[in-house]
Structure 1
Amino acid sequence: MEGTHPRSALSATSLARLFHTPSLLYFVSVAETLSMRETARRLNVASSAVARQIGHLEDSLGMLLFSRESKRLRLTPAGEVLLRHARDLVRPLESAVSELDLLAGLRSGTVRIATVESVGLTILPRLIAEFGVRYPRLQVESRIAASGDVIDLLANAAVDIGFTFVTRPLRDIDVAVRRDLPIGVVMRPDHPLAALAEPHFADCFQHACAMPARSLSIRQVIEPYLARLPEPPHALVESNSVRMLFELARSGRYAAFLTPLGIEREIGSGEVIFRPIADRALPLNRFAVIVRSGAGLRFAPAAFFDHVRTYFDGAGTLSEFAANGG
């Protein structure tokens, strides 16, 4: 059968021995990177050594854990099942290694971050740079994702810390930092909407608008208000990139729905204008730094988390933090 290898059943003792070999550590790394070469680079071993360990694990289990599609690895169903459980087995060992490194003064380890674009392009680079000065031996891996994907990555233990916008109640996730941001419309100073201190959605849709795609948290907040419009707005452009929305606003043709996050300097210089939306009961967009509930952070993620908390605790509002160099 495709995806399996013939084998005799392993005893409980054999399975326990198997799961305490390097094979499982190599498997988790390959599953996260989907690349044996990248895993070899991270672990500072030869690619052939990684391939041997994965082959040993597959032979012992009698199942293929990876398939290759278009020169890229992909987890098989068996691999997905093993990964869910392997992370729970590997995490205590990684934590122990990090603590032993700390005790020895090495301070090595990796912190994995997922972030929404607006934070990843503005606040996070500053945080990472200053963290790197303090902990030069610690590695940081970051990825940009939609707000909902950041939450899912954290819930699935694919990352240690998330920077996202929260639009729904979270299970098994702690909100460590919370800041509420107003939703408004951004345009050039010579745009007709700039004359209104607090425009309504109806005012905005008299002009060409740049709308966040449904994958962005801002769109989820304002979607109920769009549904009340008597007819669809005209001259509408959608984008899943906050930076693209800003650039459309800066072009002068479009008014873009955004929060001030990430464009504080441009607003402060007068290059663009931000006007809060006046529609009644429009909620704020809630930014949060999140971690998994009850999942003790290893040294590297814990050190970065403390670094983040220190900065946000002293920053006042999120906009003030970003405006001061984020």
Structure 2
Amino acid sequence: MVKQSATAEEPALPVSRGQALSPALLARIFYQASLVHFNAVAEHLSVREASRRLNIAASAVSRQISQLEFALGVELFVRDRRRRLTLSPAGEILYGHTRNLGNILDSAVDELELLRGLKTGTVRIATVESIGIAFLPEIISEFGRRYPGLQLEVSMVSGAEVIERLIDERAEVGFGFPTDTHPQISVALHRDVHIGAMIRHDHPLAESRGPVSLAECLAHPMAIANSEISIRRIVDPFLLQATQTLPPMVEVDSIRMLVELALTGRYVSITTPIGAQTDIAEGRLVFRPLSEEGLPANRFGVMLRGGGTLPLAAAVFLDYARNQFLRIELPGAVLAESDEG
């Protein structure tokens, strides 16, 4: 239990399981300030920091938590020998259920302000690099003109972290490659795109007008994504079919780097047209789909955390982004599109 020095105005309340309140009365407690104070201390593991962020006295924070512990009949915090604050097992359980209280309240405020016409709110977006660079700048720019009062927070992360941020509710909208389904993730819209060889316009393989095989690509210096990127996991089985021994290759963790390596003229980069549309349209690069039979497409799209309701600001952005994704044109590579949301 978090304790300050007791005074006449701030009595220290003992924790007692026998005196814990009934569920009906506990419901009232959970809608009072004590829960807000508890979450602030649990987040920062510091009464002083919680009081600073809440702009109230540390003694008031401590008193609210003592009252909550008294009502629950359990200790929520403990201090070690160095006086460092940690959550007790009961505190861990309570915080696990209430940690998103602030996000819920912020979302409610955002929606009320939008309803009042103030057009304020925040949309948190997580995206993989290739989609972030290729499509989002234009989408964000036009959206910003339409809704100048909405704030967009964009994080460029790995595909796995896009999923993590959606699940942990650190992002409302995610852009990535949902090649593996996840029970907590909903795909709002997806499109399928060929995987192929990206080469400079004067590369020997550029003379071909149709698809090329991996065997043809392996006859030249080749660059490919590493295993952290979905393209590599798709292509690997077909690489093993094309050759018994893989030659030295340049492996990178950046789709943009694959585009830049292709622009040098030396490398055949195994990727999709995403992120190279301008270079292809202006003739600097040529994209040739791979001809391997059974090679699946790479799926990219818009993802959400399943089973929840989006804040209004995020819902407005999602609706706009979906419409723009349907208009995306890639050079002869889009196979299909689907709207599941």
Q: TM-score, normalised by structure 2?
A: 0.74
Verify the 8 A CA contact 1:312 1:318 in the aligned structure 2.
no
Alignment: residue pair count: 295
Partner of 2:168: 156
Equivalent residue in structure 1 for 2:149, among 137, 140, 156: 137
- One-letter amino acid matched to 1:156: D
Q: What CA distance in whole angstroms lies between the structure 2 residues aligned with 1:306 and 1:84?
A: 31
Equivalent residue in structure 2 for 1:176, among 188, 200, 205: 188
Equivalent residue in structure 2 for 1:24, among 10, 30, 39: 39
What's the offset of the Cα at 1:157?
A: 1.4
Instruction: Indicate how the Cα distance of structure 1 residues 168 and 303 shifts in structure 2: closer, same or farther if over 3 A, else same.
Output: same
Seq. identity, %: 36
- One-letter amino acid matched to 1:298: P
Structure 2 counterparts to residues 278-289 of structure 1, below 5 A:
278-289=291-302
Partner of 1:69: none
Instruction: Indicate how the Cα distance of structure 1 residues 84 and 153 shifts in structure 2: closer, same or farther if over 3 A, else same.
Output: farther
Partner of 1:62: 77
Partner of 1:114: 126
What's the offset of the Cα at 1:104?
A: 2.1
Equivalent residue in structure 2 for 1:291, among 297, 301, 304: 304
Partner of 1:270: 283
Structure possessing the higher radius of gyration over alpha carbons: 2
Does the alignment pair 1:93 with 2:123? no
Verify the 8 A CA contact 1:161 1:291 in the aligned structure 2.
yes
- One-letter amino acid matched to 2:325: F
Instruction: Indicate how the Cα distance of structure 1 residues 235 and 194 shifts in structure 2: closer, same or farther if over 3 A, else same.
Output: farther
What's the offset of the Cα at 1:21?
A: 2.6
Q: What CA distance in whole angstroms lies between the structure 2 residues aligned with 1:203 and 1:108?
A: 54
What's the offset of the Cα at 1:229?
A: 4.5
Does the alignment pair 1:238 with 2:228? no
Q: Aligned with 1:139: secondary structure?
A: strand
Verify the 8 A CA contact 2:38 2:65 in the aligned structure 1.
no
Partner of 2:220: 207
Q: Aligned with 1:275: secondary structure?
A: strand
Q: Aligned with 1:121: secondary structure?
A: helix
Verify the 8 A CA contact 2:78 2:87 in the aligned structure 1.
no
Q: Aligned with 2:175: secondary structure?
A: strand
Does the alignment pair 1:255 with 2:255? no
Q: What CA distance in whole angstroms lies between the structure 1 residues aligned with 2:290 and 2:188?
A: 28
Q: What CA distance in whole angstroms lies between the structure 1 residues aligned with 2:155 and 2:202?
A: 36
Q: Which runs of 5+ in 1 are unaligned?
A: 65-74
- One-letter amino acid matched to 1:115: T
Q: What CA distance in whole angstroms lies between the structure 1 residues aligned with 2:57 and 2:317?
A: 32
Q: What CA distance in whole angstroms lies between the structure 1 residues aligned with 2:238 and 2:172?
A: 35
Equivalent residue in structure 2 for 1:221, among 234, 247, 267: 234
Does the alignment pair 1:125 with 2:140? no
Q: What CA distance in whole angstroms lies between the structure 1 residues aligned with 2:200 and 2:87?
A: 50
Instruction: Indicate how the Cα distance of structure 1 residues 82 and 124 shifts in structure 2: closer, same or farther if over 3 A, else same.
Output: farther
Q: TM-score, normalised by structure 1?
A: 0.77
Moved more, 180-189 or 195-204: 195-204
What's the offset of the Cα at 1:47?
A: 5.9
Q: Aligned with 2:169: secondary structure?
A: coil
